[in-house]
A and B are shown apart, each in its own frame.
Chain A
């Protein structure tokens, strides 16, 4: 190989390497930019008063307590509906169904299709079906039922993976001792797969907190503490959206920054929890 050719190749190599570093720096740069901009403007305004006060459209003393309560209701109700269904579906798929059977294929196809549907379509459906046809009105319950369909694929897939990771020898050992199937599932397989199942629920919680379009179409935007599940409620993300539509005074700007900060902190906490569970899960020896 001639000297000039190797030289050209060296320049190309350096350029390619520089490009890769640039790409990675851009990705990390975007993240740091968003985090820095929102946290530096918002952290100063997040305090106990902001978190624990009611919302008033004007003034400094306004807070986000009703939105926190609405978000918590939304999370509990959605998980309460979706987790049992999702976990039982995963149990059916991994422990009962014959792999490759027609029914399994249909169930897989449907859950994968559900996972691909844009969330606004769920909002559209929830508005027609839960709010309208079932007569639940704009309520936390309508929102939670809508979101529970949205998170169902996440719970099914992650739980299935956790169940499949339980070694086959566990099942064989249990059946070999004469234990019935349901006993084996509840006493042996589910406890072994628990970290994975908890991860699937934590991931779903993140998804519920982050959603906004399907939420305001079904749960409404009333900025009060919902008295029951049948009451309308405004979640934190919907609140941030509403705030950005009326950014006039400095207080409104501060509230928007502070609400965005709270959301980012929640995401950070959720990601840390999943990391912790995953690292403990990986350390566990089968």
Chain B
């Protein structure tokens, strides 16, 4: 504490250019240092308080229905049964579908921007991708509701287009900007010499891209994919608007389903007692998935640091 203030005051002050001097300045320096430290601690406190409340509020539900009753239960019938396995399945299914559709498109787009496109075209597409990232999720939901849902209803001849498939398609578009931005950055970070060496050996540009640049940028691309998965798992409003929200186990991707996030958003405003607590438990399950993703990210970055 003391040494930090000595560093700055050790130089003799000329007095005229400085607002204050001596002990008063020391006092002022300390005051601001503590103020900034307190501000920095607010973030830490927020996380602690959030974790405490979500955990605390979920306890009654876990006590009444048991962890396995909630996590592996297939019936959601508050206030009797609180099984959220259908929601877990719906969240995972819509996310996996979104990744399967969205990631190839995103990766190809990232390659296009980083390697193939002429500079002027890349300078048009990059802001377009940023715009895609800025569009509110309700607008995606609205678009899904008026375009994708009726389309699915017509193409697959199902009674209602509000299905898991609709959720997959909307999420696929929504994760594009995240995956594109991170992948593009990591493709650009591959040393130029790799590419030059490959081209000098007579490999074609496409061979170089797919056999050399993409594998070299692997960990960065995976980071982008994981961030995309997190975005898809956490998405709420767009999903509520297109997936039908039936709390039953979906039999296929052409049936409606309710994700973990949708379960919370739809019922929280009127739930009370154990029912409300079960929604916090839903939140805990969602957080466990997010923590697993973050753990994978940490592992990936550690590997990269080596």
Task: List the interface of chain A (C-beta within 8 A of B).
Answer: 9, 12-13, 16-17, 19-24, 26-28, 30-31, 33-34, 37-38, 84-85, 88-89, 91-93, 95-97, 106-107, 110-111, 113-114, 116-125, 127-129, 133, 149, 152-153, 156, 175-183, 185, 206, 209-213, 216-217, 237-238, 240-241, 244, 256, 260, 263-264, 267-268, 270-271, 275
A128 to B25, CA, bound (A): 43
Task: Tell me, yes or no, whether B189 is within 8 Å of chain A by CB.
Answer: no
Q: Which of A106, A183, A217, A241 contacts B19 (CB 8 A)?
A: A183
- Is B54 a contact partner of A244 (Cβ separation < 8 A)? no
Query: Which residues from B are CB-within-8-Å of A127?
Result: 268
For B240, list chain A residues within 8 Å (CB). Answer: 241
Contact residues of B: prevailing secondary structure: helix
Cβ-defined contact, A180 with B283, below 8 A? no
Once the chains bind, are A117 and B287 in contact (CB under 8 Å)? yes
Instruction: Kindly list chain B residues whose C-beta atoms are within 8 Å of the C-beta of A107.
Output: 40-41, 43-44
- Docked CA distance A9–B211 (Å): 13
Report how far A239 CA is from B235 CA in the complex, Å: 18
B157 part of interface (Cβ distance < 8 Å): no
6 closest Cβ contacts across the A-B interface?
A: A23-B108, A118-B234, A88-B39, A210-B136, A24-B112, A92-B36
Q: How large is the interface on B (under 10, 10 to 19, 20 to 34, 35 or more residues)?
A: 35 or more
B18 at interface (Cβ–Cβ under 8 A)?
A: yes
Q: How far is the CA of A152 from the CA of B42 in the complex (A)?
A: 10
Q: Which interface residue of A26, A107, A179 has the most chain B CB atoms within 10 A?
A: A26
Contact of B105 among A12, A17, A26, A268 (CB under 8 A): A26
Of B45-53, B60-68, B190-198, B217-225, the one touching chain A = B45-53
| A254 smallest CB distance to B (angstroms) | 13
Docked-complex contact B286 and A244, CB < 8 angstroms: no
Apart from the given pairs A20-B112, A92-B37, A114-B47, 11 other A-B contacts in the complex at a CB distance below 8 Å: A9-B204, A31-B129, A31-B131, A88-B39, A117-B50, A118-B261, A175-B11, A180-B8, A180-B18, A238-B138, A241-B138
Rounded to whole angstroms, the CA-CA distance of A28 and B279 in the bound complex is 38
Determine whether B117 belongs to the interface, using a CB cutoff of 8 Å to chain A: yes
Is there contact, CB below 8 Å, between A113 and B294?
yes
Q: Are A240 and B206 in contact (CB under 8 A)?
A: no
CA distance A14 to B130 in the complex (A): 29
Closest CB-CB distance, B1 to chain A, in whole Å? 11
A150 to B, closest residue via Cβ: B46
Q: List 29 A-B contacts (CB under 8 A).
A: A20-B209, A21-B112, A22-B108, A23-B104, A23-B111, A24-B108, A27-B176, A28-B128, A30-B176, A38-B139, A88-B39, A113-B47, A114-B43, A116-B230, A118-B233, A120-B261, A125-B53, A125-B54, A129-B49, A129-B53, A152-B42, A213-B237, A217-B268, A241-B141, A244-B142, A244-B241, A263-B135, A268-B131, A270-B134
Contact indicator B8/A181 (Cβ below 8 Å): yes
Instruction: Label chain A's interface by main secondary structure.
Output: helix
> Which chain B positions have C-beta within 8 A of A177?
11, 17
Instruction: Tell me whether B207 is interfacial, beta carbon within 8 Å.
Output: yes
A267 B125 Cβ-Cβ under 8 A: no
A27 touches B109 (CB 8 A): yes
Instruction: Give the residues in chain B near A88, CB-CB below 8 Å.
Output: 35-36, 39-40
Q: What chain B residues lie within 8 Å of A210 (beta carbons)?
A: 134-137
Q: Is A20 within 8 A of B43, CB to CB?
A: no
Q: A240-B142, A244-B141 are in contact. Are A37 and B147 (CB under 8 A)?
A: yes
Contact of A31 with B128 in the complex, beta carbons under 8 Å: yes
- How many whole Å from B223's CB to the nearest CB in chain A? 12
Which residues between 229 and 273 of chain B lie within 8 Å of chain A, taking CB atoms?
Answer: 230, 233-237, 240-241, 261, 264-265, 268-269
Residue with the greatest number of chain B CB neighbours at <10 A, chosen from A95, A110, A122, A124: A124
Q: For residue B176, which residues in chain A have a CB less than 8 angstroms away from its CB? A: 27, 30
Q: Are A182 and B46 neighbours in the complex by a CB distance under 8 Å?
A: no
Contacts of B8 in A (CB 8 A): 175, 179-181
From 159 to 196 in chain B, residues with beta carbon under 8 angstroms from any chain A beta carbon are 173, 176, 180
Q: Is B29 an interface residue (CB 8 A)?
A: yes
The reply to whether B237 and A241 contact each other, CB–CB distance below 8 Å, is: yes
Q: List chain A residues, Cβ under 8 A from B129.
A: 27, 31
If A88-B40, A121-B287 touch, does A260 touch B17 (CB 8 Å cutoff)? no
